Amino acid sequence: MTQRALICGLLAALCLCSAVKARSQSEADRRVAVTFDDLPYQADGAALCDPASLMSLTTDFVAMLKPLATRATAFVNEGKTCEPTRASTLPQALNVWLDAGLGLGNHTFSHINIHQTTAEAWLADLDAGAPITRAALKARGERLRWVRHPYLFTGETQDKHDAIAAGLAARGYDVAPVTIDNNDWMFADVYRKAQRLDDPDLMRRIGEADVAHMTTVLDFFEPYSAELTGGREPAQVLLLHANSLNQDWYPQIHALYLARGYRFVSLEEAMADPLYAHADTYVRANGISWLHRWTHTDGRAIRWEPEPPAWIVEANKGGVEDLERMAVRMSAKW
């Protein structure tokens, strides 16, 4: 071997070792704050307006989470419960979450779409969504600090965006960004359809597809997020929803994160990561990860994460009967 070849080989090995070392250091400090939107639960109106049903859904979901030590924060749409029972039932449901050491935030009263209204109406809906959640927190010496935009829409015009941001600041809210989103709401919609078909095998396939897609999404977002920090993976904020899919399959999601070296932290701890002080100048009619927003703000092109499997996208668009026909059609492949 020539001296030049030897030197080149040593340099290549050094670069490889440096890359592996940087990666292992990043992976060694992987952190994630888990968040659940759409409290008290993604279910039909009848279930949410029946106090016994609402409490059963809540206690079962929290019982699933409690032994996993997620340190999760959940975001409430107070208007999801019926007005005649809201004042009595919703505080009980929220206290189940608080008793388990989980956090709460405001997700507006009605899950309002800013693209279809004014900033003033959006802020009024936000205010209407606060009283019961605020009171539940205040009783424990805590304040209603966190807010999450429905659909992750922050305003499709500069005027709306700025008016909402100013309104949130004036009310003392901190925005809870999202870095990792695997479109679990889409899988959950298809899962509920399979439940109505009473098809356990189809439900299992949907759950497995959800976990597999989360793996694909993490494979994308982990290195993508490190591009914003010079190679260090920041603390992530994961968006999920309180629904039957996660009731059954969140433990597998949790295990996936553990296997990838994550530790579960509070939203407050995740937000202490310096990346969350990054400016966000993204103004579009789109609800996207803050990693994309920060990438856009830095003047770089957004690279979009992988889409869910085509059959999940198709099943989400159709009805229960469409899913049943699709399941028959695909059974040979499965």
pLDDT of residue 333: 73
* Three-class DSSP labels, 91-131: HHHHHHHHHCCCEEEECCCCCCCHHHCCHHHHHHHHHHCCH
Residue 226 burial by Cβ neighbours in a 10 Å radius (0-12, 13-18, 19+): middle
Angle CA 234–237–238, to nearest 5: 130
Residue 331 confidence (pLDDT): 80
pTM: 0.91
Burial 17-53 (b: 16+ CB within 10 A, else e): eeeeeeeeebeeebbbbbbbbbbbbbbeeeebbbbeb
Task: Kindly state the tokens that stand for 133.
Answer: 């959640």
From the CA atom positions of the chain, what is the Rg in Å?
A: 22
Sign (positive or negative) of CA dihedral 133, 76, 173, 163: negative
Angle at 23 between CA 18 and CA 25, to 5 degrees: 95
* Distance in angstroms (rounded) separating the CA atoms of residues 302 and 224: 10
What's CA 107's distance to the chain center, in Å?
12
Contact 295, 305 (CB under 8 A): no
Q: Where are the domains of the chain?
A: 28-320
DSSP 8-state secondary structure symbol assigned to residue 5: H
CATH for 28-320 is 3.20.20.370
- Can you tell me the distance from the alpha carbon of 218 to that of 68, in angstroms, rounded to the nearest whole number? 20
DSSP category for residue 157: S
CB contact burial 319-330 (16+ within 10 A = b; e otherwise): eeeebbebbeee
Please identify every stretch of the chain with a pLDDT value under 50, giving residue numbers as ranges: 4-8, 10-25
Q: Is 295 exposed, middle or buried (0-12, 13-18, 19+ CB in 10 A)?
A: buried
